[in-house]
Structure formats: C-alpha cells, structure tokens
Amino acid sequence: MLNFRLLGTAAGGGIPQWNCACQICALCRQDPQILAPRFQLQAAVWSDHGEWFLLNACPDLRFQIEANPELHPEGRLGNRNTPIQGIILTTADLDQTLGLLLLREFQPLTVYATAIVRRALESNSFFRMLERVPHQLTWVEIQAGVPFNLGHSGIVCTPIPLAGEMPFYARELGPCEPGQASLGLLLESDGQRLAYTPSVPEITEDLRAVYRACDAILVDGTFWSDAELSNTHCGTPLARSIGHIPMSGQGSTMALLSDLDVPHKIFVHLNNTNPVLDPRGEEYRAVIDAGWQIGHDGWQLAL
C-alpha cells in the first residue's frame, strides 16, 4: 500500500510569515480558527511495515516529527533510532533542504538526490556536520526518468524532470537541463500511483501524461495569480518568472488540467499571499467547485 501524508503545506516562510502583515497573515494571527497556521511544505510516504521516507526536509521538520507520533523513535529499539529510512530531495532549495541539518545527532541517514543537488550541499561546509563519522550519511544519486526502490518498502519512485535552475546560493553550478535542479516524484505501489509536483514551471505534454496515469496528483498551488506577489510586495517578481504556474486565469493549472480525470487533485506549497487560504473566500470556493482540494497539514491518503 502507498501511504502519503502532508506534514506541512505552505511555501517558504510558512503561514504566517515572520515579516508579513498581509491580509492572510494578519487573519491567521488574529483568528487561527478561520485561517489555520501552516508549516512549510513537507511530505512523507510510508509502507505498511512502518518504513518512512521523507520527501525533502524543510526547516520546520523538528516540529513536524514531534507532531506525528509515527515518526518518533521507539524505546523498545534502544535510545537512539528513527523510523525514517531516507530522505528524497527534489531540489537544493533551502526551504526543502535545511531540515537535513536538524537530523544530525550522529544518526545514519540515506539521502536520495541528483548529482548536482548533491554537489550543492556537499560544497556547503554546514552539511559536513552530517558526515562527522563514517557511514553517517549515505548518498544515493538519482536521475530523472530512472525508477528506484524506496528501501524494502515496496514503493517505487521515479523522478519526473522539471525545468529549473539551481537556487541563488548555488547558481555557479548551473545552467541546468530539466531534471537536474528540479524534480517531481512519481510514487507507485501495487499499481497505485501518486505524483508529487509542488513546483511546476509549466504543464508540458509529458507532465500531463504522468498526471493522467495517476490516482492522485499533488500540484503547485504557490500562487493564485501571476501578479499576486508583486501586488502584495512592490518590486517582487511575477509567479511564472520564478517557476510557478498560477492556479487561476488563462493558461493556469486549473485551466490546463480541467479535463484531467484523476480522483484526487490537491494543491500544495501555498504561499502566504494566496487568497485560497481564506476558506470564506470566492477563490477557495472556485477551487473546490473545480474538483480540486486545498492540502492542509496532516492531510493524508492511502492508495
């Protein structure tokens, strides 16, 4: 069986964001019953035998592990252990990798990443803390389109190539071909398929074909509209120019995928400027009416 859980659903900064007084963040602070706080995006999959794999490692990871008892160490296995068998990285972005630094404490870790993402992290001296003793960190290099097994979980993962460049701190390693700096993940078990694509720069025919064969798709819901960020913070870029196709409007995710017959369609990676976060609003209603769901922290699915 393929078990999937969202441990966090917000884009970088979380909700509320520390330096943001936009309507969404203000409402979240004033009335969390209406607009709940959200951790930064983090997902996990696990097998029926309790082998867990993290999809990336966000800066909120310590809180997310404590909030999910299945991720706690078990006393019967000794004082130091974890059910987390590995971490699959889809990018070198800090919002998706800083959590690795929280998993030190001499715990052996297996990290799956593309060659260039590995190079970006290995060239940063902070990450040497994960390699203080022999066999502490095991890298498994992965490639777009090449399936690999998640340990003995029975879950097979195939990286989906996405266009994207290395993050600002590692720009010198680029330019990149699609699938080097940014991946989606296709997860399969017992014939059931789930696509995890929290960062989608464009809907290509290849990506449509992947989605069409899935039972569940988790899709980039960073921005509602192309100009949303620049409307909130003057001088900031358009959604498309930073690799996020907006949810609404012409050429948007909902428009381009409206004919897609997939049982579970979920938006994730919601930026704190996105009006869909207010469940009283017309944008939220439009998403639900179109057959999509807004992912929330703790959302899970068993396929």
Residues found near Zn ion in the complex (CB under 5 A): 20, 22, 25, 272
CB nearer to Zn ion: give 188 or 228: 228
Beta carbon of residue 273, minimum distance to Zn ion (angstroms, whole number): 6
Q: Which is nearer to Zn ion, 11 or 186 (CB)?
A: 11
Query: 21: helix, coil or strand?
Result: coil
Roughly how many angstroms between the first and final C-alpha of the chain, as a whole number? 6
Peptide bond into 134 cis (omega under 30): no
Minimum distance from residue 191 beta carbon to Zn ion (Å): 41
Q: Shortest Cβ distance from residue 232 to Zn ion (Å)?
A: 7
CB of 13 to Zn ion, least distance (A): 8
14/164 with CB nearer Zn ion: 14
| Shortest reach from residue 270's CB to Zn ion, in Å | 11
User: In the complex with Zn ion, which residue's Cβ is closer, 13 or 73?
Assistant: 13
* Shorter beta-carbon distance to Zn ion: residue 22 or 255: 22
